[in-house]
Structure 1
């Protein structure tokens, strides 16, 4: 099936007498958990709480924007993770007030113009102050691991006030502003582009890698990204081009939680996705796009595309 796109908005005001305060707070906490993941949630000043949140989502990506009048605290424990695992990554941004994030043994205080990347498959505590506003972009784990390596660069505070960071912030705001004009494909493509930018910013905000293995991994990823459309690209050709042994390349990528063939397949699929969405390619057949993307047959391409995106190339183009 082609991707579907949903927009949901919730609003709560405990100063109103229309509904009992306890019912409103329970509704708010349950809906926020449904947007993200199971967790303990508590409003610290319930008597005058006002909250509003909007969730834009497809099967692959999600953007939640929110604003609250009084402090709120959220905690996800090992028990929550055991009963409701969720390996997706979150990129959290503060647009007003402050947000405290304790995750994987580190604590960050995010102020206006900062963001951080984290996963909800590790216990965390998150607290926001009065008159807080923020955004959380949810991204598939494979998209982050593919670019940064598994478990890399979590909790790194990122500056969103200038350069690439400012571009990310502006794009997130625009994605929310234009929420009712977007299609599922447009939302996914914009979110995928934002994922690329977040990863670039994360890499730029860290010190150059000191590990030789990490240096090799980065060069392998760069080589694959630049040559994925070549049907002859494989572990042997990568090793020859970079001057390392095949075993060394396989070992480095295994430590990063992936393989050469997986990286090659993902880059080819991303290129093919762009070609399917390009109106200039409407005359091209699925088979042509498959070969131009580096696949050796339309059958192999269609099978890989369905496994990765959840629908066929034809459905993607028709939608």
Structure 2
């Protein structure tokens, strides 16, 4: 089972419930002003899963207003995107650039760096929320307003795929080990990146630079999904996205690596994650290397040492000793 934290206001004295909920959401998401007509006997619950750098949580609470102000942003900004899958309840949200309404089966995106005012308009709210750091999901600042505050459907396309994944994951975690958390977080980030790319590509009259960036995000998600494929090359990636290899290389000029280097780094990261996973301690190093696109042991050892300053064997030994 994954590591999880469960909270219910029923465990607290009535007078302390609302204030504690305000504090809890401030830690889970970001400091906010919460409003409610009557705070007496406030009822809410939260179930939280930490998946590497990504946080996934489900919650049920009575109708509330949430406000994140410029002052609160200046005081504390965790630099994260927040996605809410609305399962029950309705509401309205206001940003400087947009006003919107949301309902069940909507996906609502906010940013901890942009002020907002969101309030419930119906009865109790049930949702599944995802917090992902911006540095794990790079999105240029001029693109953020096109995503933030825009409700996206959880019934079709990438929204439906993401919704099914997080709904199943929060419903039952017994099939997973704690060491699966970071891998699941990586999958969630890929799904969110694909959702954002789909949303941006569907916009009208997007500037060329926006199209370039969303295509790059989609390509990076594709690479992560196919790291195990020995035929993953710039040529095959370009063909899968109906672009020329030269254009693919131009897209990556703004990244911190060439296409081949970007693939190698992601493969090394995946191999390192498996090597330091106690659940895979009996899996031969070469089997892990081959799984992530390194069929030759000498090539893998050389690349691993260059990246991490230690051989795969030594790194695994050190990591597993720390878990004992």
Does the pair score TM above 0.5? yes
- SS of the equivalent of 1:145 reads coil
Aligned ranges for residues 76-155 of structure 1 at < 5 Å? 76-128=68-120, 129-145=122-138, 151=144, 153-155=147-149
User: Are residues 1:292 and 2:294 paired?
Assistant: yes
**Deviation per residue, 1:82-116 (Å, 9 max, x gap):** 22121111111110011333234222222100102
**Deviation per residue, 1:22-45 (Å, 9 max, x gap):** 322212221222222112123333
User: Would you say the 8 A contact 2:83–2:131 is kept in 1?
Assistant: yes
**Deviation per residue, 1:250-309 (Å, 9 max, x gap):** 4xx3xxxxx242887665443334445496993235995798399863233226xxxxxx
**Deviation per residue, 1:185-240 (Å, 9 max, x gap):** 3223223212222332333232366423334445555666659999x98xxxxxx9
Distance 1:53 1:287, change over 3 A: closer
Unaligned runs of 5+ in 2: 235-243, 310-314
How large is the Cα RMSD of the aligned pairs? 4.3
Distance 1:216 1:10, change over 3 A: closer
Q: Give the structure 2 partner of residue 198 of structure 1.
A: 192
Distance 1:190 1:241, change over 3 A: same
Q: Give the structure 2 partner of residue 272 of structure 1.
A: 268
Q: Give the structure 2 partner of residue 42 of structure 1.
A: 35
**Deviation per residue, 1:141-199 (Å, 9 max, x gap):** 12321699963633332111234422322211221122455334322322321222233
Aligned ranges for residues 216-235 of structure 1 at < 5 Å? 216-218=212-214
Q: Give the structure 2 partner of residue 241 of structure 1.
A: 245
Higher mean C-alpha displacement, 30-39 vs 292-301: 292-301
CA distance in 1, matches of 2:282, 2:219: 26
CA distance in 1, matches of 2:150, 2:165: 20
Count matched residues.
Answer: 291
Q: Give the structure 2 partner of residue 67 of structure 1.
A: 60
User: Would you say the 8 A contact 1:96–1:133 is kept in 2?
Assistant: yes
Q: TM-score, normalised by structure 1?
A: 0.72
Distance 1:149 1:210, change over 3 A: closer
CA distance in 2, matches of 1:194, 1:131: 27
Q: TM-score, normalised by structure 2?
A: 0.71
Q: Give the structure 2 partner of residue 282 of structure 1.
A: 283
Distance 1:287 1:133, change over 3 A: closer
Distance 1:75 1:187, change over 3 A: same
CA distance in 2, matches of 1:84, 1:148: 18
Q: Give the structure 2 partner of residue 9 of structure 1.
A: 6
Higher mean C-alpha displacement, 151-160 vs 221-230: 221-230
CA distance in 1, matches of 2:249, 2:26: 47
Unaligned runs of 5+ in 1: 234-239, 254-258, 304-311
Q: Give the structure 2 partner of residue 25 of structure 1.
A: 18
